[in-house]
Amino acid sequence: MRIQRIIMQGIHALGANKTRTFFMMAGTIVGIAALTVIMAMGSGAEKKVMKRIEGFGPRAIMLIAGGGKDLPPPDLTVSTLTLDDAEAIRDKVEGIETASPAAFKRGIPIKAGSAQSTATIFAVEPDWNEAWDWYVSDGDPIAAEDVATLARVCVIGQTLSHDLFGNESPIGKYIRIQNVRFRIKGVLERRGTSPIGTDFDNRALIPLTTGMRRLFNQDYITYVRIKVKNLDHITSVQKDVRQLIHERHHILPSQENDFRIVSAKAVGNMARGTSGTLSSLLIALAGLSLLVGGVVLMNILLISVGERQKEIGLRRAVGATRKDILFQFLVESLAVTCSGMILGSGLGTVITLILMQTTKIPVVLSWEPFALSLGFALLVGTFFGVQPARKAASLNPVDVLR
Amino acid sequence: MIEVEQLEKTYSTGRMATPVLKGISFRINEGEYVAIMGTSGTGKSTLMNILGCLDKPTTGRYLLDDTDVGSLDDDALSHLRNKKIGFVFQQFHLLERSTAMRNVTLPLIYVDEYPEDVEKMAEKALAAVGLTDRRQYRPNELSGGQQQRVAIARALITDPEIILADEPTGALDRKSGLEVMSIFKKLHQQGHTIILVTHDQAVAEHAQRIIVLKDGQITEDRLIKKQRDPDLELGNGEEKR
Ligand SMILES: Nc1ncnc2c1ncn2[C@@H]1O[C@H](COP(=O)(O)OP(=O)(O)O)[C@@H](O)[C@H]1O
Ligand SMILES: [Mg+2]
């Protein structure tokens, strides 16, 4: 095939002048290497975000007492969020699986015989487990009857259990929370620590009524954990809840909210935000390298067209058409960027592997950067190759062979 | 067969118009060996470029095997050059970084049907110019005469009807020049049409027919009577100049 033969001519010309070819390639190598690393870091960051969302619960919405925009901790002094609000959400908002109200307090001293510790106390309803997808690994959860009778029972986390009872089973034993005696009826599954280092397992759950009336002595709650039936409805549910609470709390448009709504989406966005600066810097580096590399490539090609005028004239004399010449120079440009892309991807992969070994930066290697790099290589090769190729094709053989 | 009628060529650079060819007509039959002679700047190369389909006359007609070359577009001209014309230039114009073999096969890149026995064809062409043992040499490893012979082999590879040589000995020493001329003689004997451009009377004497150009017009068009072998005369011719 004529096309094949011309491609081989282009590749041979590149091979015949390796130094020039290397300089044409350098920008692409750096740009693609940077792109590969960026994408590995991007996927790493995204994986971390997904883990956060997974941890928060993809279908969860938190209605939290207190204004502002950030994630918890909630403002424990705000007293406007009530059980009636939770009830209203259950009744009026469509698409909800659970809406579980809770109140909590941190740093409550707890004793068991001579052993003592401090933990966070959550006053919850029976659907708490379902709302958090967090169940007992031993014993029984807080039951509806416990809430109805203001029972002095609790379910404790594994850290608290270990701190107070070592390796013994705590089921059926008693602890004192703020000098009120509670019977332990269950132990929660282990959850580990939060991204900021809070130990999820250092806690005790008690019935909501017991907590509000006996322990905290308050008629308001701290948050409502809402779980939507369908992931697609998360935005609409969020909107409905906001509107409902707005109305119920009689908040005027000019006033600040006394509550916050946080969804998995918001959690994800927040996690994304922290990794943004570094990667936008690297994206700029990659873009700049590709651009500078492209311009360098174009200029070397233009010089090369000048140097190779006689060769071009000769090719035309022995039968090359303008298109053949155009095509050969485009092939040379594209061969440079595509080989640069292969070397750059290799270099980028090596750098990524080194990052993986030596730093904590999350990285994920995948095929996507290769596909994108190939796209960029073709784009840069064509875009910056076209002008030199046109120039070569437009040369008049009579003029250059004189 | 080549037939030109009232060829005129005027170069226009800016406001200046330089008439170079002012009405050239002749006919060259297949198998002829013609020298186009004239002093430097008379338009020999200009005429040669037109005959080689590299350039077009300002006015006039050029028939190549009954094809009106003036009516062809750029692509068609490229194909025509590839098929029917072999060029030999004063400056050789070889690809510096390519071997003799690659240089010789260059025109085959642009043929419609790539032959299967390219290697053999190249070997044959190189053998015809006496360079069988230099196949893998690059131009900078060859003498001027050898380089010009590679260029002739390149012109031969497509077995063209017409070989156009513009001052083929102009850059060579006398001995290499004679070698090159003896190759043209051999090619002529094998039936190729050869058109040789030169300013050198002694070189022109190798042809069968001489067309003399002066001030853009033909002043002389004559056949050479061959009593003696002009190869032996070349030395005398140069001394006389
Ligand atoms: N592209 C061009 N533009 C303007 N003038 C040209 C061009 N090519 C040739 N000439 C002029 O035409 C004349 C004939 O040139 P040329 O055909 O090369 O002569 P020769 O080969 O006989 O020495 C010269 O005076 C030259 O300067
Ligand atoms: Mg000339």
Look up tokens 């905290």; give the residue.
Answer: A216
Look up tokens 């369908």; give the residue.
Answer: A230
C-alpha of residue A398 to centroid of ligand 2, in Å = 11
Interface probe with A: pick from B40, B73, B109, B164, most Cβ of A within 10 Å: B109
The tally of CA atoms less than 13 A away on the side-chain side of residue B204 is: 20
Ligand 1 close to Cβ of residue B206 (< 6 A): no
C-alpha of residue B11 to centroid of ligand 2, in Å = 15
User: Following DSSP, what letter does each residue of A234-263 receive, concatenated?
Assistant: HHHHHHHHHHHHHHHTT--TTSPPSEEEEE
Domain that holds residue A102: 79-257
Tally Cβ neighbours within 10 Å of residue B156: 25
Asked if residue A57 is part of any domain, the answer here is no
Which tokens belong to A190? 């282990």
State how many domains chain A has: 2
Using the 3D structure, point to which of A257, A282, A297 is the last residue of a domain. Answer: A257
Pick the residue from chain A with its C-alpha nearest to B105: A318
Q: Classify residue B61 by burial, with Cβ atoms within 10 Å: 0-12, 13-18, 19+.
A: middle
| Together in a domain, A104 and A163 | yes
| Together in a domain, A244 and A303 | no
Q: Rounded to a whole number, what is the distance in Å from the CA of B93 to chain A's nearest CA?
A: 7
For chain B, the residue count is 241
Asked if residue A318 is part of any domain, the answer here is yes
Q: Which residues pair with A224 in a beta bridge?
A: A63, A101
Residues A117/A162, Cβ–Cβ less than 8 Å: no
| Together in a domain, A206 and A331 | no
User: Following DSSP, what letter does each residue of B10-46 receive, concatenated?
Assistant: EEEETTEEEEEEEEEEEEE-TT-EEEEE--TTSSHHH
Closest residue by Cα to residue B2 from B153, B163, B125, B145 = B163
Hey, whose CA ends up nearest to atom 10 of ligand 1? Answer: B11
Per-residue pLDDT of chain A (402 residues; tens, 9 = 90+): 899 999 999 999 999 999 999 999 998 999 999 889 888 888 888 888 888 888 888 888 988 888 766 555 666 777 788 889 999 998 998 889 999 999 999 899 999 988 999 999 999 999 999 999 999 999 999 999 999 999 999 999 999 999 999 999 999 999 999 889 999 999 999 988 877 778 999 999 999 999 999 898 998 999 899 999 988 888 889 899 988 988 888 887 777 778 888 888 777 777 776 656 666 777 888 888 889 989 999 999 999 999 999 999 999 999 999 999 999 999 999 999 999 999 999 999 999 999 999 988 888 888 888 999 999 999 999 999 999 999 999 999 999 998
| 3-class SS of residue B2 | strand
Look up tokens 């009336």; give the residue.
Answer: A213
Separation of alpha carbons B226 and A31, rounded Å: 71
Task: Please choose from B20, B24, B50 the residue to mutate so as to test ligand 1's pocket, defined by most ligand atoms within 8 A of CB.
Answer: B20
| 3-class SS of residue A4 | helix
| Together in a domain, A251 and A335 | no
Tally Cβ neighbours within 10 Å of residue B112: 9
| Together in a domain, A87 and A213 | yes
The structural domains of chain B, with segments of one domain joined by +, span: 30-59+74-223
| Together in a domain, A294 and A322 | yes
Look up tokens 């509670």; give the residue.
Answer: A182
Ligand 1 atom nearest to B38, measured from its CA: 22
Asked if residue A253 is part of any domain, the answer here is yes
**DSSP alpha helix (H) spans, B114-241:** 118-128, 144-156, 174-189, 201-204, 230-240
Per-residue pLDDT of chain B (241 residues; tens, 9 = 90+): 999 999 999 999 888 899 999 999 999 999 999 999 999 999 999 999 999 999 999 999 999 998 999 999 999 999 999 999 999 999 999 999 999 999 999 999 999 999 999 999 999 999 999 999 999 999 999 999 999 999 999 999 999 999 999 999 999 999 999 999 999 999 999 999 999 999 999 999 999 999 999 999 999 999 987 655 555 545 444 433 3
C-alpha of residue B191 to centroid of ligand 2, in Å = 26
Find the CB nearest A319 among B98, B102, B107.
B107
Interface probe with A: pick from B54, B77, B88, B158, most Cβ of A within 10 Å: B54
Peptide bond into A101 cis (omega under 30): no
Separation of alpha carbons A146 and A208, rounded Å: 9
Domain B30-59+74-223: top CATH class = alpha beta
Asked if residue A170 is part of any domain, the answer here is yes
Separation of alpha carbons B122 and B101, rounded Å: 7
| Together in a domain, A123 and A205 | yes
Structure confidence at residue A79 (pLDDT):
78
Asked if residue A310 is part of any domain, the answer here is yes
Asked if residue A335 is part of any domain, the answer here is yes
Ligand 1 atom nearest to B49, measured from its CA: 17
